[in-house]
Amino acid sequence: MKQQPKSKIQSKPGFASLTQAKWPVTLVWLIGLILIWELAAFEVAQTKRTPENVLPHLYQIIAAAFSGKKVTNNLTATQVVLINAASTLLRAGQGFVIGVAFGYLLALLMSLSKIVEKIAFPYLMLIQMIPILGMAPIVLSITGDINRSRIVIAAILTFYPIAANCLAGFKAVEPQKHELMYSYGANKFQLYTKTMIPATWPYFFTGLKISAPLAITASILVDTLQGGGGLGSMLSQSLKHAMSVYVFWLIIFFVAFIGMFSFYLMGVLEAWLCPYRKWEKGGNEA
Amino acid sequence: MKNTAGRLKRATGAPASGIAADLNPSERSSESALAEPAAQSGISLSGVSKAYPVNGEMIPVLKNINLDIKQGEFISLVGPSGCGKTTTLRIIADLISPSSGTVLIGGQTPRQARLKRRYGMVFQSAVLYDWRTVIKNVMLPLEIMKLPKQEQQQRAEAMLDMVGLKNYAAHYPGQLSGGMQQRVGIARALALKPDILLMDEPFSALDEFTREKLHEDLLQIWQKTHKTIVFVTHNIAEAVYLSDRVCVMSPHPGRISNIIEIGLPRPRNPQAKTSATFSAYVNLVRSSFEGV
């Protein structure tokens, strides 16, 4: 049994490394996506009057990205996307950091006190249930500033996955670890710093991976609520033909990429800060 | 009282065969020590009972436990599930308090003994901290005790050396096998330099080969350190092989049905397990269970 896979690797080194490496999967996935997109684009090109509004070919989108043609205010399509992305991502980032901090703090408080948990958790659920579009005017009237309210909304959406995941993390600490600390005569501060808080890191990173892309999409959504910069505003403007429709497609691709990248970044952060996780069962996959 | 009487009868009268002389060697003075008060790190349980409320009714899980564990003794609590062996251990460890009766650990209450870090605890699973390296795991209780960093390091290294894991100090628990993880757990319990080691089925999750290896290691550690060891297990052969005395417990309610002195010579080696005397002890323990 032990020798069989060995000889297989020796006889077909290319095949073995191919099945073990990750990139072939990504490649197949990418080719599949391109194929489906192009098939659909051909179909749209045959049947619709303005196919670029529905589904342009990929090469058209790529060409638009590198074209020097000014679409608005003396800016090319790519410049429009990047300039607006800066303000949207900055707000998303600020909201994300605030949401993560408050989310973790609340999870910690809920873990420390059953009463806090009982009081706070229904509100947490409630906030989660209110649609962002319903929440936005309320937040706007409270903060009185559209940019500040956009940050707050990104924070609110980030907050829940972090708080819920970290609370689950606090609760998942095995009773034996509590007993061990008790048998050492550890005080509450030591219990939390040595056992509880480190034990939540995997849950914390799971929360981060959920909420990082969420903060970005939320930030784009609330951009559309009022004028001013931001990817969301550009999206609606480009759809209204105020500028090239390719701005719309570039934003879609850019956002998809940034969303995935933010997820990936959290994974890298986790691998760096929690090196031990690679030896755990199912570690680094959450 | 009835319990005590039954226990005495069994301990003296039950083995009527030729091995009786082996089982109750008259020259062993420890027999009489049963009646003596516990020594400095001895553990004494008298009249200990525990009941839990279930639907408004108190259900007894432990009834009138009387047990004197001598200083430096290796004693096993053996019995089927629900016999209260783990409950007894947890009462000694101050993890739960008895409904009635008194527990004294070298003259101190379990709470005093715990706060003085007089015992180290080993669980069925190693309960290691994934995010700490092996040596950091062993240093954990020493950090809680706020020992100087230098001493933490030295003690942890010495303990890892004792369990044969000196070369794995920088590894993470996830990189170790189950047996190695349990050794780290033992090293961590020993790092406190406790008088007493409380072990709750520490080897029951391990495979037979690893378990036998760890038996030898544990016996060696015990011989080196002279700790009092209270060892909970449901494995009869394990209890007989390791212990000075085997305390047989029976369920519904949890009680002691017999305490058997193991007359096998020390130091023990794996060959002892094949001897007729060994099997006779195993059979005696097995026949001591009541109501199972």
Instruction: Give the strand pairing for B100-105 and B74-78.
Output: unpaired
Does a structural domain hold residue A164?
Answer: yes
Query: The domain that contains A240 carries what CATH number?
Result: 1.10.3720.10
Kindly state whether residues A122 and A162 are assigned to the same domain.
yes
Show the domain range for A47: 5-55
Task: Tell me, yes or no, whether A35 and A128 share the same domain.
Answer: no
**How many residues in total does chain A contain?**
286
Residue B96 confidence class, pLDDT cut points 50, 70, 90: very high
Taking contacts as CB-CB distances below 8 angstroms, the residues of chain B near A274 are 131
Distance from CA of A171 to the nearest CA of B (A): 16
Same domain, A48 and A187: no
What is the distance of C-alpha B248 from the center of its chain? 13
Cα separation of B30 and B245, whole Å?
10
Q: What's the CA gap between A87 and A229, in Å, rounded?
A: 7
A180 near B CB under 8 A: yes
- A185 reaches B (C-beta below 8 A): yes
Is there a single domain that holds both residue A159 and residue A18?
no
Helix, strand, coil % over all residues of chain B, rounded to 5: 40, 25, 35
Sign of CA dihedral A219, A224, A230, A236: positive
Residue in the block written with tokens 């009766």 = B101
Q: Based on the fold, state whether residues A47 and A107 are members of the same structural domain.
A: no
Best interface-test mutation with B: which of A181, A276, A277, A280 has the largest number of B CBs within 10 A? Answer: A276
Verify that A161 and A225 share a domain, yes or no: yes
Q: Are A249 and A238 in contact (CB under 8 A)?
A: no
Evaluate whether residue A195 is within a structural domain: yes
Tens digit of each residue's pLDDT (9 = 90 or more) over B26-63: 433 443 333 333 347 789 999 899 998 888 888 889 99
More confident residue, A243 or B216: B216
pLDDT, residue A74, reads 74
Tokens at B228, concatenated: 């009092």
Alpha carbon distance B27, B30 (integer Å) = 9
Q: Both A129 and A30 in a single domain?
A: no
Beta bridge pairs of residue B249: B256
Contact (CB, 8 A) for B184 and B165: yes
Q: How far is A282 from chain B (nearest CA, A)?
A: 12
Average pLDDT over residues B55-79: 90
Decide: B233 and B243 in contact? Cβ < 8 Å: no
Any residues with CB less than 8 A from the CB of B89 and at least 6 apart, and which? B77, B198, B200, B230, B232
Tell me: do A151 and A242 sit in the same domain. Answer: yes
Claim to verify: residue A198 and residue A268 sit in the same structural domain: yes
What average pLDDT score do residues A26-51 get? 88
What is the distance between the terminal CA atoms of chain A, rounded to a whole angstrom? 31
Among A177, A178, A183, A277, most B C-beta atoms within 10 A, so best to mutate, is A183
Band (pLDDT 50/70/90 cuts) for residue A123 is: confident
Examine residue A60 and state whether it is found in any structural domain, yes or no: no
Position A2 pLDDT exceeds 70: no
Is residue A141, in this structure, part of any structural domain at all? yes
Strand partners, B261: B245
A72: in domain: yes
Distance from CA of A271 to the nearest CA of B (A): 12
- 8 Å CB contact of B144 and A186: yes
Q: Which ranges of chain A would DSSP assign to H, the alpha helix?
A: 3-11, 13-20, 23-47, 51-54, 58-66, 77-112, 114-129, 132-143, 146-171, 175-183, 188-190, 197-223, 231-239, 245-273
pLDDT at A75: 79
Cα–Cα dist B180/B138, whole Å: 13
Q: Are residues A37 and A129 in the same domain?
A: no
Assigned token pair, A104: 């973790």
In a domain, A122, yes or no: yes
CA distance A66 to A218: 28
Strands (E), chain A: 70-72, 75-76
Which neighbouring-strand residues pair with B100? B49
pLDDT bracket for residue B241 (50, 70, 90)? very high
For CA atoms A115, A116, A121, A122, give the dihedral sign.
positive
B131:A198 CB<8 A? yes
Instruction: Say if CB A146 and CB A110 are below 8 A apart.
Output: no
Chain mean position to CA A194: 30
Angle between helices A146-171 and A114-129 (to 10 degrees): 130
Give domain status of residue A149, yes or no: yes
User: Is there a contact between A74 and A82 (Cβ–Cβ < 8 Å)?
Assistant: no
Q: Into how many domains does chain A fold?
A: 2
Identify the three-state secondary structure at position B2.
Answer: helix
The alpha carbon of A57 is separated from its chain's Cα centroid by a whole number of angstroms, namely 27
Same domain, A197 and A231: yes
Single residue among A55, A75, A97 that ends a domain in this structure:
A55
Who contacts B60 (Cβ-Cβ below 8 Å, separation ≥6)? B49, B50, B51, B253, B254
A27-48: burial string, b at 16+ Cβ within 10 Å, e else = eeeeeeeeeeeeeebeebeeee
Token code pair at residue B107: 């003259």
Contact residues for A125 (Cβ-Cβ < 8 A; gap 6+): none
Q: The complex's ipTM?
A: 0.79
* pTM as predicted: 0.78
- Indicate whether A126 and A42 sit together in one domain: no
Q: Which of B95, B130, B172 sits opposite A179 (nearest CB)?
A: B95
Q: Among B137, B224, B114, which Cα is nearest to B187's?
A: B137
- Provide the H-helix boundaries in chain B: 2-13, 20-23, 30-33, 85-92, 110-115, 134-144, 149-162, 178-191, 208-225, 236-242, 276-287
Q: What is the pLDDT of residue B133?
A: 92
A186 in reach of chain B (CB within 8 A): yes
Tell me which residues of chain B have a C-beta less than 8 Å from any C-beta of chain A.
93-95, 114-115, 117, 119-121, 123, 125, 127, 129-132, 140-141, 143-145, 172-175, 192
- Residue where one domain finishes, among candidates A35, A55, A75: A55
Q: B18: closest CA among B285, B288, B290, B284? A: B284
pLDDT tens figures, A219-242: 888 887 776 778 888 888 887 766
Both structure tokens of A45: 């090109």
Q: What does the pLDDT look like over A197-222, one tens digit per residue?
A: 999 999 999 999 999 998 988 888 88
Confidence grade of residue A16 (pLDDT, cut at 50, 70, 90): low
Nearest residue to B236 (alpha-carbon basis) of B291, B290, B280, B181: B280
Looking at the predicted structure, is the pLDDT value of residue B11 above 80?
no
Tokens 């077909």 found at: A12
Mean pLDDT (chain A) is: 83
Shortest Cα distance from A216 to chain B (angstroms)? 31
The answer to whether position A260 is within a domain reads yes
Residue of A174, A180, A181, A187 for testing the chain B interface, max B β-carbons within 10 Å: A180
CB of A201 closer than 8 Å to CB of A269: no
